[in-house]
A and B are shown apart, each in its own frame.
Chain A
Amino acid sequence: MERKTARNFFIWGTAVCTAIFIWLTIDTHTTIPKRTNTDKLTDEVVRGKRVWHKYNCNDCHTILGIGGYYSPDMTKVYSSRGENWLRIFLKNPESTDPQRRKMPNQKLSGDEIKNLITFFKWVDAIDTNEWPPKPITVAKVTGAPLEETAQILKGKNVYNQNRCDLCHRIGGQGGVIGPDLSHIGTKRDTKWLSNLIINPKSINPMTQMPAYPQLSEDEVQALASFLGGLK
């Protein structure tokens, strides 16, 4: 091959590929409104995005899988944690466990938290071609052996449905905002537990745990029996 042939190959190859790339870019733009729901991209979402940038969250956390790998991905945080949990967490993210990787308290204002959550909500709905993928198999959680009466089973359901695990851990599974409940039955009885669930502030006025007025009396009882049985 001559040097001149090589040069023409360079010029034409680059030009054609650049043209294709620009064409794909234009086409991509036309799909963005639908794929990212730009009709829901409100000012509040944009303000939330600015908060995200202001505190440089993205250099610890990934979002859409891009950013720092130090902390969990934020793409689906809205649907996996829920608003309530996010509000509490963002107000005070510092874990009580000294061994655990900490997120520093950013001292966000109430407005900033609200905007961030709206931003996460918008991000959650982006069509990401199903990323992150669903796990192939879900690892089994081996909690403490339970004597599974109907009452306890029901309590377990209540626990799962209300996502108590977002803050609490049982047998190593769950969040770190609240105390570990793996052996809570050795310390507290069902009476104490049901009081706490109905009105957490009656036991500790400073607690971050929200009340669950939506639970029926039955459900509270079931939940308390389930927890009381964790020894």
Chain B
Amino acid sequence: MVFESQKVASKYFVISAVFFGLQVVVGLLLILKYIWPDPLIGIIPFNTARAIHTNLLVVWMIFGFMGGTYYIVPEESGTELYSKKLANLQFWLLLIGGLVGVVGFLFGWTAGRPLLELPVELKWAIVVVALIFIFNVFMTMIRTKKWTAIQGMLLGGIVMLAVMWLFGIPFFKNLTLDYYYWWWVIHLWVEGAWELIAASLMAFVLLKITGVERQVIEKWLYVEVALVLITGIIGTGHHYYWIGTPGYWLWWGGIFSALEPVPIVLMVFDTLNHVRHKKLEITNRLVLYWTVGCALFHFFGAAVMGMLHTLPQVNRWTHGTQVTASHGHLAFFGAYAMLILTVIYYALPALKGLKQFNQRKGFWVFWITVSMMLTLGLAFGVAGVIQSYMQRGLGIDFLTVQGFMKPWFIAVFIAGLGFFIGVILFIIDVLQIAMKKE
């Protein structure tokens, strides 16, 4: 840490960790509903719980991104934050907005669109939060003497994130158009804006821990982000095969999304390369593990598991089955959860001025969450293959097939419990580091 105002990041990290824990609790509740008859159906039915599970995910990741951004921007720009007050205000607004959203879901206050369940009033409130955030970041960056690619990409990512969000706000009369623009939020976030943010944050961490020249790191950042957008924007078409949109999307979407793994593979190589050619002794070995682990798991969850069902010939059979859930979990964990944990394990000790800190717990968190999420995702995957084959291939009734998938749902539950232990350890670790005296 170099600048005093970077400290606003800590509370973002703490809330990020806590909401992560809550998300996982609700996830466990969801999988139980698949396995046994649901005693809570009258209080918190599946749909409500799913809305909470996915929205908590988005909120904790946004907290993580914002915390990471507030940590990095002063250091990159060589100046204090434009306004610590705004950063604090924005923190509380987002926290309150998130909590109101979750409580609202419990009382049936919902827009009723998957992943975009927040009611329209809250969606606009989020826009206000985003504007404050962007303003604050932008005003800090323009004080810089030398614009860096990391700054530019980061700013581009958060602006794109906010702009895409707007397409999730209106009510659409036509279901096909509804989903057409729904994917402008969902897909263009995870395979667009978020990749920009993640790649910039990762570039910063690599720059700091390996000491490789900025020129080299930023060159690769440009190439990777370019490829992400070139493949990912038209790649949105892999969601336009069956929703009422024209058949040419099978070509556009199929070909471009099949190229989406290219930048992700590049990220793996370039991370390993930077680490190999490091100019500094890497003292924070835990961060090194998270960095490399993130690159590899990002590759597996997003590139491999995404690729498996992105071609229309396959997607025709797997669309709308647990195959999607399998990929969703592995990709989100590998690409974004691990990234945020990397940033937290890098930035939080630094904020406390800790040169050394006890990394034992952090390594436990690493191995437990990685192995358990791998198991969980693969179990969903097997369930999904069974479902695609029996339900779509053989035309057997939906609920009958769910019976055949049950053992794999039980596996998901068990892995989920293990994962939960890892997350609890993580929360304890974060709280302990955050509360350390400097």
Contact = CB atoms under 8 A, between A and B. Distances in A.
Contacts of B316: 131, 133
Contacts of A137: 393-395
Contacts of B182: 66
A68 B241 contact: no
A176 B34 CA distance: 18
B48 A59 contact: yes
Nearest to A64: B243
Contacts of A98: 37
Given A58-B112, A70-B33, A3 B222 contact: yes
Nearest to A28: B245
The listed residue with most A CB atoms (<10 A of its CB), out of B180, B244, B247, B398, is B244
Interface residues of A, number: 71
A91 B42 CA distance: 17
A14 interface: yes
B225 A10 contact: yes
A220 B175 CA distance: 42
A202 interface: no
Contact of A9 (B42, B222, B245): B222
A102 B173 contact: no
* Chain B residues touching A, majority SS: helix
Contacts of A17: 229-230, 233-234
Contact of A7 (B222, B247, B397): B222
Given A13-B229, A62-B320, A69 B48 contact: no
A188 interface: no
A64 B222 CA distance: 36
Contacts of B46: 59-60, 68, 70-71
Interface stretch (B78-86, B283-291, B321-329, B330-338): B321-329
Nearest to B216: A3
Contacts of B392: 132-133, 135
A28 B250 CA distance: 13
Interface size, B (range)? 35 or more
Nearest to B54: A59
A79 interface: no
Interface in B289-303: none
B429 interface: no
Given A53-B112, A56-B112, A64-B175, A3 B219 contact: yes
A64 B41 contact: no
B47 interface: yes
Given A14-B229, A20-B234, A135-B395, A38 B174 contact: yes
B356 interface: no
A187 interface: no
B226 A10 contact: yes
Given A1-B219, A60-B50, A139-B390, 4 more contacts: A13-B226, A36-B175, A104-B41, A172-B400
Interface of B: 33-34, 37-38, 41-42, 45-48, 50-51, 108, 110-114, 117, 149, 173-177, 179-180, 182, 215, 218-220, 222-223, 225-227, 229-230, 233-234, 236-237, 240-250, 252, 316-317, 319-322, 324-325, 390, 392-400, 402
20 contacts: A6-B226, A9-B222, A10-B225, A18-B229, A41-B173, A52-B112, A58-B112, A65-B320, A66-B182, A66-B243, A66-B320, A68-B46, A68-B47, A69-B320, A131-B241, A131-B242, A133-B317, A135-B395, A137-B393, A138-B395
Interface of A: 1-3, 6-7, 9-10, 13-14, 16-18, 20-21, 24-25, 27-28, 31-32, 35-36, 38, 41, 45-46, 49, 52-60, 62-73, 98-102, 104, 123, 126-129, 131-139, 172-173, 176
